[in-house]
């Protein structure tokens, strides 16, 4: 099945999104990898990295700049063994009444990853709910996690505030850090990519692991933060780009949609017309230029400050760059989406690789807690 997955992805992308396919070799019966032999030697000593996504809708520019490009860099590093998972149980914390959308969101997210260049043979790509061991271990770790720890998590109150129009004050959202801890530890995750503002969230997982190991012995690996640059990508209203705020530009959006969304962005309120000097440091459009218009960003900054560049022309230039930058991605994704059964095969292959690791961890946890019969 994995060989078939590799051929389907490679054929659909015409070799563009999977690196070095001509170096493919079999290292485990039935598994083809695109790693060169030198990479395989390093892989035996690779550090395991874990990151995941909640399938709540299409990816946007914030996801791309903050996460997807980081995933690709980690995958390309032979010193890293990457586990990338679809956090579909986590989706229920805020979208428990929209499970009819879940299958489409899962398939869409996997196709986005593949089109971006995630290789399901270099990285383990799997769905959280395909590992039933995760649910049992979450129950066990929940029994030792003090309620006060969960109530103090900043993201719990922030999520309630940001989504106050929805009834999401549920046990799942409160216990989100416990499930997150299991996601990491059940596959032996040693490193978790986080930005500076997320270190505190990971620290709670580390506290839960330390508490478990003090109670039952050194069973679980204590994950470490892998600090990465996660630039704040603003949305059309100047806030952080988010699907929840309805201010995002999707990476799948077509040209007309991209241009319309860029035109809707707020800009410097003091720059009313061409000729008015602008302040690019406070302008969401300029923040996107810094990320997606590297060849023009200096000129944009200078001409904005002098007033030579008007906001309409500045937005048009950004839209041109975005349309051009994501056209190959949209083309590859359309080709992949035309392959029936591709996503199901990718997830099945990933579960087959992740499940033995999860099963072994859960068995060790059960033995440590004297639930081994």
Predicted TM-score (pTM) of this structure: 0.84
Q: What does the DSSP assignment read for 82-109?
A: EEEEE-HHHHHHHHTT-GGGHHHHHHHH
In degrees and rounded to multiples of 5, residue 81 shows phi and psi of -110, 110
Query: What is the average per-residue pLDDT within 108-118?
Result: 97
The better pLDDT of the pair 171, 331 is held by 331
Domains of the chain: residue spans and CATH: 2-233+339-368 (3.40.50.620), 255-331 (1.10.240.10)
pLDDT on residue 20: 29
pLDDT on residue 95: 84
Report the length, in residues, of the chain: 373
Report the candidate in 68, 157, 57, 73 with the shortest Cα–Cα distance to residue 109. Answer: 57
Task: Decide: residue 212, CB within 10 A, 0-12 exposed, 13-18 middle, 19+ buried.
Answer: buried
pLDDT on residue 13: 45
pLDDT on residue 163: 61
pLDDT on residue 151: 84
Joined tokens for residue 190: 């040693």
How many C-beta neighbours within 10 Å does residue 30 have? 10
**d(Cα 307, Cα 296) in Å, to the nearest integer?**
16
236, 266 Cβ separation under 8 angstroms: yes
Q: Find where tokens 């995958």 sit.
A: 75
First to last CA, the chain: 35
User: CA angle, 48 as apex, 140 and 36 as ends, to 5°?
Assistant: 150
pLDDT at 21 over 80: no
Q: Provide the pLDDT confidence category of residue 97 given band limits of 50, 70 and 90.
A: confident
pLDDT digits (tens, 9 = 90+) for 38-55: 443 444 568 999 999 999
Averaged pLDDT score across all residues of the chain? 86
**d(Cα 249, Cα 260) in Å, to the nearest integer?**
10
Q: What does the DSSP assignment read for 12-33?
A: HHTTSSSTTGGG-EEEETTEEE
The better pLDDT of the pair 154, 59 is held by 59
Q: Provide the pLDDT confidence category of residue 11 given band limits of 50, 70 and 90.
A: very low
Q: Provide the pLDDT confidence category of residue 86 given band limits of 50, 70 and 90.
A: very high
Report the candidate in 79, 82, 80, 78 with the shortest Cα–Cα distance to residue 35. Answer: 78
Among 70-84, 99-113, 149-163, the minimum mean pLDDT is found in 149-163
Task: Decide: residue 151, CB within 10 A, 0-12 exposed, 13-18 middle, 19+ buried.
Answer: exposed
Q: What does the DSSP assignment read for 22-62?
A: GG-EEEETTEEE---HHHHHHHTTPEEEEEEE--SS--BHH
Among 42-46, 275-279, 297-301, the minimum mean pLDDT is found in 42-46
Share of the chain above pLDDT 90, in %: 72
pLDDT on residue 179: 95
220, 79 Cβ separation under 8 angstroms: no
Q: Provide the pLDDT confidence category of residue 136 given band limits of 50, 70 and 90.
A: very high
Joined tokens for residue 259: 């241009």
228, 199 Cβ separation under 8 angstroms: no
């Amino acid at each position: 099945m994995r060989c078939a997955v590799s051929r389907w992805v490679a054929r659909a992308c015409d070799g563009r999104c999977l690196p070095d396919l001509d170096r493919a070799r079999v290292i485990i019966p039935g598994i083809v990898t695109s790693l060169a032999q030198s990479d395989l030697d390093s892989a035996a000593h690779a550090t395991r990295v874990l990151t995941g996504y909640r399938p709540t809708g299409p990816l946007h520019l914030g996801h791309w700049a903050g996460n997807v490009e980081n995933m690709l860099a980690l995958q390309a590093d032979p010193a890293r063994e990457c586990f990338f998972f679809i956090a579909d149980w986590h989706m229920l914390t805020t979208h428990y009444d929209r499970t009819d959308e879940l299958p489409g969101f899962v398939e869409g997210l996997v196709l986005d990853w593949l089109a971006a260049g995630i290789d399901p043979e270099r990285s383990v790509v799997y769905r959280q709910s395909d590992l039933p061991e995760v649910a049992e271990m979450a129950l066990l770790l929940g029994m030792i996690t003090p309620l006060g720890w969960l109530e103090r998590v900043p993201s719990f109150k922030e999520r309630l505030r940001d989504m106050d129009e929805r009834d999401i004050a549920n046990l799942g959202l409160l216990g989100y850090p416990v499930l997150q801890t299991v996601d990491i530890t059940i596959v032996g995750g040693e490193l978790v990519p986080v930005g500076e503002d997320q270190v505190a969230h990971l620290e709670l997982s580390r506290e839960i692991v330390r508490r478990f190991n003090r109670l039952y012995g050194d069973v679980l690996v204590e994950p470490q933060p892998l600090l990465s640059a996660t630039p704040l990508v603003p949305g059309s209203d100047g806030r952080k780009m988010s699907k929840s705020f309805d201010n995002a530009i999707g990476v799948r959006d077509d040209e007309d949609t991209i241009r319309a969304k860029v035109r809707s962005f707020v800009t410097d309120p003091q720059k009313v017309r061409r000729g008015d000097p602008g302040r690019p440091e406070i302008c969401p459009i300029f923040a996107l230029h810094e990320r997606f218009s590297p060849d023009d960003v200096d000129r944009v900054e200078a001409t904005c400050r002098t007033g030579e560049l008007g906001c309409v022309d500045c937005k048009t230039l950004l839209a041109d760059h975005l349309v051009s930058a994501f056209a190959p991605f949209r083309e590859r994704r359309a080709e992949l989406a035309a392959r029936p059964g591709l996503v199901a095969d990718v997830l099945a292959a990933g579960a087959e690789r992740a499940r033995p690791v999860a099963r072994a961890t859960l068995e060790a946890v059960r033995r440590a807690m004297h639930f081994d019969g």
